[in-house]
Amino acid sequence: MINLELPKRLEAGANQARQVATQIFRPVSRKYDLAEHEYPVELDTLKAMMEAMEDAGQAASGATMGSGGAPRREGVSNGGNMKSLLNIIETCWGDVGLTLSIPRQGLGNSAIAAVASEEQMEKFGRVWASMAITEPEFGSDSAAVSTTARLEGDEYVINGTKIYVTSGARADHIVVWATLDKTKGRAAIKSFVVPREHPGVSVDRLEHKLGIRASDTAQITFDNCRIPKENLLGDPEVRVDKGFAGAMQTFDNTRPLVAGMAVGVARAALEEIRTLLEEAGLEIDYDRPATSQPAAVAKYLELEADWESAYLLTLRAAWMADNKMPNTKEASMCKAKAGRTGSAVTLGAVELAGSYGYSERSFLEKWSRDSKILDIFEGTQQIQQLVIARRILDLSSAELK
């Protein structure tokens, strides 16, 4: 049974993350939304703080998205995934784009933590890694990867183009998904750690985006890029019987984090609109049916209830990951629910605030733009529903498309 009371040992890290959101992110949020592609120099201060804590042996309490955590104990555990989730909720309360730009805390870092060996964690545990999955020929169908990795002696040669790589131009490493053998389907898709400043790697362009404008989103080409074979994450063998299991393990870790991003920004919007409603003289009464309260209050209560369910689903998925429970279904459930809820809550807040919410006098319109991507990347709403249905019905991807 999951305990809904958060452990006290995780509160310190979450509180520090809230301080980062309040003191570093919120004050410059609008600045970097308007100055797209300009590097947020304030993040250098955050990076120095994180490095100081790690050097002092206190990384587990830092405001990070990393995967480290307390040693595993007997019984129920709350380790790296829960710590990361709580911290990312807080930092995204401050700004989603800046959260995605935190040095050494890219989505690729979660991918490394999901499948890397102990030796690889020693080598790559402190890099800043973006994750390159999507290609010009496909979007959410990650099994359609066409970037190739060919083994030549002690090196893999990677060829292909990746698009929509978050932090692709800023991170110092890239986790690249590529296929070892197209004829063997999903089972041949592996992930590789590639230095960004490396022969054969070129950042072609940065995208102009609707939201998360503080983060950089790049197109990257790999042209006969040679890396040591030790840079392949996880098992190098193509095991057809396991199918897409290795890749899905990465999503099982990263999807709850993306759900946490949506939970964080939606909470920010709820807090703002509640303040506006109370300033307008509207009382939010939890002891009365919503139907007997003003329409604006009823709408707020509906959005808040939707947020609560997304939050709890997300906690559950992270808790299961920490306790070594299979959580593919739950990871997709929280991602689908939180992604949809994030958009519904932030757009609902804009609507309730009227012209004020649509203007740049508040962050409401910005949060509505930032939240939309959280329902798209790491698998769209439709992909999540497919994954959930396959798990419930016990059907393969070939049986249920």
pLDDT tens-place string over residues 93-133: 999 999 999 988 888 998 898 888 899 999 998 899 999 99
pLDDT tens digits, 292-312: 999 999 999 999 999 999 999
DSSP helix/strand/coil, 323: coil
Q: For 143-147, what is the mean pLDDT?
A: 88
Is residue 396 over pLDDT 90? no
Is residue 25 over pLDDT 90? yes
Distances (CA, A) of 106 to 11, 125, 275, 286, 331: 22, 12, 33, 39, 18
The answer to whether the CB of 19 falls within 8 A of the CB of 61 is no
Is residue 58 over pLDDT 60? no
- Lowest average pLDDT, out of 16-20, 46-50, 138-142, goes to 138-142
- List the structure tokens of 341: 């809820």
pLDDT tens digits, 210-219: 999 999 999 9
- Lowest average pLDDT, out of 6-20, 123-137, 157-171, goes to 6-20
Q: Phi and psi of 392, rounded to 5°?
A: -70, -40
- List the structure tokens of 247: 């890749």
- List the structure tokens of 185: 């389907």
Residues 85 and 104: their CA atoms lie apart, in Å, by 16
pLDDT tens digits, 313-355: 999 999 999 998 999 999 999 999 999 999 999 999 999 999 9
Q: Kind and range of the H or E element at 179?
A: strand 173-179
Given this model, what pLDDT does residue 202 score?
98
Given this model, what pLDDT does residue 187 score?
85
**pLDDT category of residue 234 using cuts at 50, 70 and 90:** confident
**Count of helices and strands (H, E) across the chain:** 13, 7
Q: For 231-257, what is the mean pLDDT?
A: 78
Q: For 223-237, what is the mean pLDDT?
A: 94
Residues 179 and 149: their CA atoms lie apart, in Å, by 6
Given this model, what pLDDT does residue 70 score?
37
Q: For 198-227, what is the mean pLDDT?
A: 97
**Average pLDDT of the residues of the chain:** 90
Given this model, what pLDDT does residue 163 score?
97
Given this model, what pLDDT does residue 54 score?
67
Q: What is the chain's alpha carbon radius of gyration, rounded to the nearest angstrom?
A: 21
- Residue 347, Cβ density class (10 Å: 0-12 exposed, 13-18 middle, ≥19 buried): buried
For the chain, what is the largest distance between any 2 Cα atoms, rounded to a whole number of angstroms?
73
Instruction: For residue 338, give the nearest of 377, 364, 286, 298 by alpha carbon.
Output: 377
Q: Kind and range of the H or E element at 296?
A: helix 295-322
Domains in the chain and their CATH numbers?
Answer: 8-124 (1.10.540.10), 129-239 (2.40.110.10), 245-393 (1.20.140.10)
The answer to whether the CB of 163 falls within 8 A of the CB of 204 is no
pLDDT tens digits, 61-89: 344 444 433 334 455 566 888 999 999 99
